[in-house]
Amino acid sequence: MARKRQKFPAFKKIIKPTDARVAVKVKKAKENQEIRRVEQTPSSLFFEYNTQLGPPYRILVDTNFINFSIQNKLDMFESLMDCLCAKSTPCIPDCVYGELEKLGRQYRVALRILNDPRVNRLPCDHKGTYADDCLVKRATQHRCYIVATCDRELKRRIRKIPGVPIMFISNHKYVIERMPDNINY
């Protein structure tokens, strides 16, 4: 004689939304939820065009941009004029000087370029010589700069800042990205 098996119901048990176990999860989710802050965009960004940018352009220069300029045999001042078709002043923070001095004798040509009187030196108030954070901070505060870099990570961080163009080296010439008038030829 075969045993008869107990039959189970075909439906699943569902917890009611008013159950205490569900209410605890909702409370925890609300507590863990972060407050999101959206920065107010400055009034100089009219229709996403930065009206603070205009000749003479001020260019924040990163360490690797100087090094790639030397490797590609580009004169920084002439190439900036060719790219922007206007007068431009390279601005170099103290932390970029510090990075180049740390790199040693190999980069003494870059230091010689930075000692040119046409270069504007910017004092830094932070400790250390990490230049990327300093460049991003200056670009977000003032938005009157074009940031010149060949560093992918720094470019990614600057793309998040509205209205700040990025200059980099491509095909042995300077190229500018996110410039309103699209000056590149």
Tokens of 11: 């439906």
pLDDT above 90 as % of the chain: 45
3-state secondary structure of 98: helix
- Dump pLDDT digits (tens) for 101-149: 998 888 889 999 989 999 999 999 888 778 899 999 999 988 889 999 9
Q: What pLDDT was estimated at residue 92?
A: 94
Q: pTM higher than 0.85 for the full model? A: no
Tokens of 21: 């176990």
Of 147 and 19, which is predicted with more confidence? 147
3-state secondary structure of 39: coil
Query: Beta-carbon neighbour count of residue 111 at 10 Å?
Result: 14
Cβ pair 139, 164 in contact under 8 A: yes
Class of domain 54-177: alpha beta
Q: Give helix then strand counts, H and E, for the chain.
A: 7, 8
DSSP code of 173? E
DSSP code of 53? -
Cα 144 to Cα 44, 63, 76, 104, 166, distances in angstroms: 10, 20, 20, 32, 12
Please state, in angstroms and rounded to a whole number, the distance separating the CA atoms of residues 114 and 25: 58
